[in-house]
Structure 1
Amino acid sequence: MSKVYGIGLMSGTSLDGIDAVLVEKNEDETKFPFRIIESLTESYDEEIYESIMRICDPEMAMIEEVSAMNMYLGRKFGAVVHKLLEKANKKADDIHFISSHGQTIFHQPIEGKKRYELKNTLQIGDLSVLSEETGIAVVGDFRTADMAVGGQGAPLVSYLDYLLFSRDGKARAVQNIGGIGNVTYIPSDGDISQVKSFDTGPGNMVIDAVVHSLTNGKLTFDCEGKIAKQGKVNEEVLTHLMDHEYFQIPLPKTTGRELFGRSFTTRLMNEFSHVSDEDLITTVSEWTVVSIVKGYQDFIEVDGIKLDEVIIGGGGSFNLYLLDRLQQKMPHTKVRTIDDFGISSSFKEALAFAVMGYQTIQGKENQIPAATGAERPVIMGKIAYSQPAAYERVMSIRSGIR
C-alpha cells in the first residue's frame, strides 16, 4: 500500500506567520497517526500584518477588506504550500490533501441579545482558491461544526493533545502559549469524558503588542523574555489586568482578539503611560503567567486533583521568563516543553489540523465535546476541490485505493 501525504497549515492569533507541515501517515496503526517529514514558517510582511490586524479589530474592520483578504490569503497559503513542496522535493500530485485552519479574524463563542446573534466564528483564506492554487483538495473551516452543536468552536487542539498524552498515567495540563493561552487537562486515567480545555487568557498577544508599540515596530516580540527579565512587576497594573471580566466566566470559555487585541492594548498603554517600558513588558508577561495559574486553580486543581506535569507549547515555550515564573508558581509540578517529547512547539498546531483534516476525509469525529462544550461529537471541516484530479486523490483515502 502506498503512503498517504498531507499538509497542515496554521496561522494563529499571534499573526507571526503561516506554519506549514508535510506529514506522512504511519502504516502501523498502533503508533501516532502521522509524522512530520518537512516544515517551514512564512512570516507576514508588515503591510499584510497591519492589514490583518486592522480587520481583526471590530472598531476598524471594513467588509471589503475582509472579503479581499479572504481571497488573498487563499493565494498566500497556496504559495506557502509550493515552497514546502519544493523544500521536501515533492510534487502536488504526491499530496492527498491540505488541511488549513485559516486566519481567525473574529470569534464570538457566546450568543448575543438579538435573535440572529448566534455563536459565530470566522476564519479566512478561501478553500477553493487554495485548492486551485495548488491542485490539491483542501479541508478547512473546522470550528463552525462544533458551534452548530452548542460548542465554542475552541479549543480544538485538545484533540491532538489527548491523542499524544493520555496513555501513561499522568495528570497533565498541555498549555499552548500562542497569541491566546489555552490548556487541555488530561486526567491520569485517560478518561476522555473528563478532559477539560479552555482559553486561560492572553498568551503572547498583549506582550507582543506592547513590545511592538514601545519599540516603534523594531521588535515584534520579547525574544526569550529578555526584556521582561529586566523590569519589575507593577502590582497596580497587574491587579487591573486580573480584574478583567474574562477571568470570572465559568467553563466552557474561549477568547481572542475581540477582547485582547490592539484596542485593548492601546487603552492599557494610555491608562498606564507613567509605567516604564521594561516594567510594563514585565507586568503583561507576568499577567500571562498568573492567568494560567489561576485557570488551573479555578477549573483543574479542584476536588483534590494535582497536576504531575505542565507541558508548554507555542511561541511562549521559547520565552524563558514565562517558563521560569510558571515553575516558581507551581513548585510541585514539573514544567516541561512539548519539544521534550520530540514534537516541535513551532509546528504542533499545524500537525493538529493535518490530523483533524484526515479524520474529516475519513468521515470520523474529530473534536472532544468535553473540551469545547459541544452537545455531542461531530465531524468538523469542509472539503474543497476545484479539479477532478484533486477530487480523485482525496477520495482514494476513503476507498483505500492509493
Structure 2
Amino acid sequence: MNKNIDNLYKIAKKEERLIIGLMSGTSMDGLDVALCKFRGSGGETEVEVVAFETVSFEDAIKDEIRKIFAKTTIDFQQLCVLNPWIGNLHGQIVNDCLKKWQILSEKVDLIASHGQTVFHAPKILHKLEKFPNATLQIGDGDHIAVKTGIITFSDFRQKHCAAGGEGAPLAVYGDYLIFSKKGENRILLNMGGIANFTYLAGNLDANEVFATDTGPGNTIIDAYVKKHFGLAYDEDAKIASQGKINQELLKALKRDVFFGKPFPKTTGPELFNLEYLINAQDQSHTTELSHEAILATLCRFSAETIAEAIGFLKRESFSIYGSGGGVHNPLIMNYLRELLPNFIFKKTDELGISGDAKEAVLFATLANEAVAGGETNFGSRKGVPSVSMGKISFPE
C-alpha cells in the first residue's frame, strides 16, 4: 500500500483527529485558521476548537486578488499564477500559526482548506443553458500540503456542483452535524459578504435540513465604504446610523429577478456589487443621496432580504444563531429584530464555537466527515446532495 494511503487510513481509524480548517471569504479580510479536535463522525461528531486566529491580509495581497475577483474578463496569467501563490501563502500562514501555538506539524492530521473564491457562477447567474453550475476557488491544495507537510483536503465545492448543487452554501453539512439539537428548531444565519442560513429541525431529521443564500450581507456595504471612505468596513455602523433609509432606492435594490427565484439558490458579488447599486440609483433617481443615506438603505436591504427568506420557511418559532461580520453591525441586527419580532436572536458563540471561527470549523468538519464518516443521508432534495467533499493532496 502506498504510504500516503496507509497514513490516511490510520488517521480515519483514530479515536481523535486534529484538523486545521482554513477559510477566506469574499470580503478577503484575511485567513481564518481554526485548529480543531474531532471525535466521532456523523451525528456523533464532537468538536473542540483548540486554537483560532484570523490572520489579516495586507492590502498588497487583496489588490492581487481583486485583479481577477468576480470579473468576467481577466488576465488569465494572473489567475494561473495566483493559484499556487495563494496556496503557498495559506501554507505559510498555517506554519506560522503552529509555531505561535507551539504545536508540531506532525501532530496535525489534516488541513481542510476552503480556498479563495474568485468567481461564483450558478446557472441562476450565468444563464447559459448548456453549461452547468460552476464556482472557482483558488489556493492549490498540493502547494499547501507540500508547504506544511500535512495532508490537505481542498476544493470542496466542485463535488457539490457535480452532484447537482450550486456549490453553496456548504455550511449546511457542518451545521447539521455540530449544531443540531433535539427539541429546538434552529437557524444558523451567516452574514458574510453574502448572507445565507441553514434550517435545523428539532426532530434531528437530516431530510428536513434546508440551506440557501438570501442575497447580500456586507459585500456592497464594504465595497462602498472602501471606495468613498477608504475604510475596510463601517465599524459599528457609525456612518450608516447617521443616515435615513430611502424607500425608492430600497425598492429598486430589491427588484432584481434573483429575489423572485425559488429557494434554495446561491449568489455572489458577481451580482451584488457597486455596479448593482449604481444601477438601482439610476432606476430610482437617487444618485444625489448622501453617503449616510445610501449605507443606511444598504443595511436595510440586507436585513429585509434575509428576513423575507427566513419567512419562506413558514415556521412559527426558531432560535436564530448569527455569525459573520454582519453580527457586528448593530443597524442590521436591529432591523432584523424589528422584522422578525417572534424570533430569539443569539450568537453561535453561545453554542460553544465563536462566530468568527465557525466557517473554518465547518470546513474542518467536512474533512473529518470525508475520512471518518460520510453516512449521513440528507435525502435527494435540490441543494443538499449527500456526498463526500474535498480533494486530497499528499505532502509527498
Q: If the length of structure 1 is used for normalisation, what is the TM-score?
A: 0.88
SS of match in other structure, 2:21: strand
Asked whether the 8 Å contact 1:14–1:180 carries over to 2, the reply is no
1:39 aligns with 2:52: yes
The letter of the residue matching 1:341 is L
Aligned length: 380
**Is contact 1:252-1:371 (8 Å) kept?**
no
Partners of 1:141 and 1:28 in 2: CA distance: 21
Q: Is the 8 A contact 1:196 1:370 kept in 2?
A: no
Which residue identity lines up with residue 106 of structure 1 in the other structure?
A: F
Preserved contact between residue 206 and residue 379 of structure 2 (Cα < 8 Å)? no
User: Equivalents in 2 of 1:288, 1:367: separation in Å?
Assistant: 32
Is 1:306 aligned with 2:319? no
Q: 1:239 aligned to 246, 251, 254, which one?
A: 251
Provide the rounded CA distance (Å) in 1 between the counterparts of 2:379 and 2:88: 33
Partner of 1:316: 326
Match of 1:259 among 271, 276, 279: 271
**1:50 corresponding residue in structure 2:** 63
Q: Which shifted more, 186-195 or 1-10?
A: 1-10
Cα distance per residue 1:360-393 (max 9 Å; x no partner): 123625794667525x411111100131xxxxxx
Where 1:258 maps in the other structure, the secondary structure is coil
Counterparts in 2 of 1:7 and 1:56: CA distance versus 1, 3 Å: same
Other-structure match for 2:344: 334
Q: Quote the Cα distance in structure 2 between the aligned partners of 1:324 and 1:44.
A: 30
* Partner of residue 361 from structure 2, selected from 351, 365, 373: 351
| Aligned partner letter, 2:233 | F
How many angstroms does 1:174 deviate by?
A: 1.2
Q: Is the deviation greater in 49-58 or in 247-256?
A: 49-58
**Deviation per CA, 1:54-105, whole angstroms, max 9, x where unpaired?**
3123244221111111111001101110121012211111111100000111
- The alpha-carbon deviation at position 268 of structure 1 amounts to 5.2
Confirm or deny: 8 A CA contact 1:366 1:379 kept in the other structure. Answer: no
Measure the CA separation in 1 of the matches of 2:265 and 2:129.
21
Say whether the 8 Å CA contact 2:36–2:50 is kept in structure 1: yes
How far 1:337 moved relative to its partner? 1.2
**Could you say if the C-alpha distance between residues 74 and 18 of structure 1 is closer, same or farther in structure 2, counting changes exceeding 3 Å?**
same
Q: Which runs of 5+ in 1 are unaligned?
A: 388-402
2-structure distance, mates of 1:248, 1:266: 21
For residues 74 and 150 of structure 1, the distance between their equivalents in structure 2, rounded to whole angstroms, comes to 27
Counterpart in the other structure of 2:137: 123
Would the alpha carbon gap of residues 185 and 363 (structure 1) be closer, same or farther in structure 2, given more than 3 Å must change?
Answer: closer
Q: For structure 2, which runs of at least 5 residues remain unmatched after alignment?
A: 1-13
Say if 2:66 is the partner of 1:88: no
TM-score scaled by length of structure 2: 0.89
Is residue 229 of structure 1 aligned with residue 241 of structure 2?
yes
What do residues 221-247 of structure 1 show as CA deviations (whole Å, max 9, x unaligned)?
111222222211111111111111111
Q: 2:25 aligns with which of 3, 6, 12?
A: 12
| Alignment deviations for residues 100-122 of structure 1 (CA, whole Å, 9 cap, x no partner) | 00011111222766575221111
**Cα separation, partners in 2 of 1:124 and 1:357, compared to 1, 3 Å:** same
For the 8 Å contact 2:123–2:129, the answer to whether it is kept is: no
Task: Summarize the Cα distance change of 1:115–1:177 in structure 2 as closer, same or farther, 3 Å threshold.
Answer: closer
Cα deviation code 1:316-363 (max 9, x no counterpart): 111111112111111111111112222111110000001101111236
